[in-house]
């Protein structure tokens, strides 16, 4: 590899890495928005690496950053890039190594990288079919990427299931970790063997519910997936009223957890709001008063059980009185 050189080019002249499947794995809008903010604060960082091909410049990595620059600066803006002579193997390995840290190994990134590496190793086109080949292919891909063999093996199995229309790509990519994606895949496999296959739309719904449950409870996403699948396969007989009540209780529990988390944040500021620094500040006094009122209202709310018990006891006494009353 020859020494690197800096070159100023227009953003419109920069193309994706040939192994980057933007059609299957589109860029993350949240990451782009964060990078646009960074560019506004500190300008464009010129440490993206490219190679020149037919008058264009192919990215080794940094696709989100380049897209953020296009949206922030305009596609005709000129930026400085690093230019190197890179072969296909170097391009793929640099993309994998850079994104390995940047994406924290999200399921979508793992699938894309393993897909591309498999296609490259088997001398197919980028993104080639990965469901074929020898059983030891995952060892070759793992060695090529310098990744754990188990990670690659799980990814290859998921890609094969996606290609066979047994596993929802969207559901897998909606999950935050490969462990969660692998759990979903295994539950889908078990359900199919038991004669109760889970449709791809249902898989997407399971992934969404699991993510929501993890945000509002202490249940992990893999555990939430297992519970959801089990409940779907083993529904308990319930009447409509009981189901509505269970939904209401579940929604209330999630809301109360959010309230508890917010109250913990309020209490974290309690000391500061009472300090000399904020004591004379009108806003601090207002926040302190609001916090006190909120705590008082919560105490009243959480004592509702006592009120209900008193009301229930009163109803029972009234019924007993009615039963013993002699109308004559």
**Domain around 40:** 1-87
CA distances from 40 to 5, 9, 33 (A): 26, 20, 11
Task: Identify which of 129, 135, 156, 133 has the alpha carbon closest to the alpha carbon of residue 145.
Answer: 156
CA distance 68 to 81: 15
250 inside domain = no
Q: Which of 63, 87, 111 is the last residue of a domain?
A: 87
Buried b (16+ CB within 10 A) or exposed e, 49-64: bbbeeeeebbbbbbbb
Task: Identify which of 136, 107, 116 has the alpha carbon closest to the alpha carbon of residue 61.
Answer: 116
pLDDT (mean) for 144-149: 88
CA distance 203 to 162: 12
283 inside domain = yes
Banded model confidence at residue 118, pLDDT cuts 50, 70, 90: very high
Q: Which of 71, 87, 103 is the last residue of a domain?
A: 87
For the chain, the average pLDDT equals: 81
50 inside domain = yes
Number of domains the chain is built from:
2
55 inside domain = yes
52 inside domain = yes
CA distance 82 to 5: 6
Per-residue confidence (pLDDT) for residue 9, from 0 to 100: 93
Q: Residue 99 pLDDT more than 70?
A: no
95 inside domain = no
Q: Residue 192 pLDDT more than 70?
A: yes
Q: Is the dihedral of CA 107, 113, 114, 116 positive or negative?
A: positive
Instruction: Find tokens 């009223």 and name the residue.
Output: 241
Q: Residue 314 pLDDT more than 80?
A: no
157 inside domain = no
pLDDT (mean) for 297-320: 61
In this structure, what CATH number is given to the domain that contains residue 3?
3.90.1530.10
Per-residue confidence (pLDDT) for residue 141, from 0 to 100: 92
Helix/strand/coil for 9? strand
Q: pLDDT tens for residues 13-35?
A: 999 999 988 887 788 888 899 99
Q: pLDDT tens for residues 41-90?
A: 999 988 899 999 988 999 998 899 999 999 999 999 999 999 999 999 99
Q: Which of 65, 87, 109 is the last residue of a domain?
A: 87
Q: pLDDT tens for residues 231-278?
A: 888 776 667 777 778 777 877 777 777 777 777 776 666 656 566 555
CA distances from 192 to 2, 115, 195, 199 (A): 53, 25, 5, 10
Task: Identify which of 80, 103, 83 has the alpha carbon closest to the alpha carbon of residue 25.
Answer: 103
Q: pLDDT tens for residues 207-229?
A: 999 988 888 888 899 999 998 99
Q: Which residues pair with 52 in a beta bridge?
A: 57
Query: Which of 103-112, 213-222, 279-288 is least confident?
Result: 279-288
Enumerate residues 6+ apart whose C-beta is below 8 A from 114. Answer: 130, 141, 145, 152, 155, 156, 159
| Global pTM exceeds 0.85 | no
């Amino acid at each position: 590899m020859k020494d690197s050189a800096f070159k100023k080019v227009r953003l419109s002249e920069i193309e994706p890495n040939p192994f980057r499947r933007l059609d299957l794995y589109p860029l993350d809008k949240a990451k782009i928005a964060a990078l646009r903010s960074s560019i506004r604060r500190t300008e464009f960082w010129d440490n993206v690496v490219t190679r020149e091909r037919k008058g264009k410049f192919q990215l080794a990595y940094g696709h989100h950053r380049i897209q953020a620059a296009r949206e922030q600066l305009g596609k005709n803006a000129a930026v400085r890039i690093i230019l190197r002579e890179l072969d296909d193997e170097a391009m793929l390995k640099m993309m994998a190594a850079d994104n390995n840290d940047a994406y924290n190994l999200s399921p979508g990134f793992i699938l894309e990288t393993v897909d591309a590496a498999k296609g490259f190793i088997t001398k197919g086109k980028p993104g080639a079919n990965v469901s074929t080949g020898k059983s030891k292919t995952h060892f070759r891909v793992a060695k090529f990427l310098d990744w754990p063999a188990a990670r690659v093996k799980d990814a290859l199995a998921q890609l094969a299931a996606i290609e066979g229309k047994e596993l929802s790509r969207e559901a897998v990519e909606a999950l935050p970790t490969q462990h969660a994606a692998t759990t979903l895949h295994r539950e889908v496999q078990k359900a199919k063997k038991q004669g109760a296959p889970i449709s791809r739309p249902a898989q997407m719904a399971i992934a969404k519910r699991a993510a929501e449950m993890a945000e509002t409870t202490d249940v992990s996403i893999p555990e939430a997936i297992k519970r959801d699948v089990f409940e779907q396969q083993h529904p308990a007989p319930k009447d409509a009223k009981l189901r509505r009540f269970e939904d209401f209780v579940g929604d209330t529990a999630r809301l109360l957890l959010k309230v508890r988390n917010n109250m913990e944040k309020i209490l974290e500021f309690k000391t500061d709001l009472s300090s000399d620094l904020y004591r004379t500040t009108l806003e601090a006094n207002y926040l302190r008063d609001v916090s006190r009122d909120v705590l008082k209202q919560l105490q009243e709310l959480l004592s509702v059980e006592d009120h209900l018990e008193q009301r229930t006891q009163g109803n029972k006494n009234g019924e007993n009185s009615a039963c013993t009353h002699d109308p004559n």
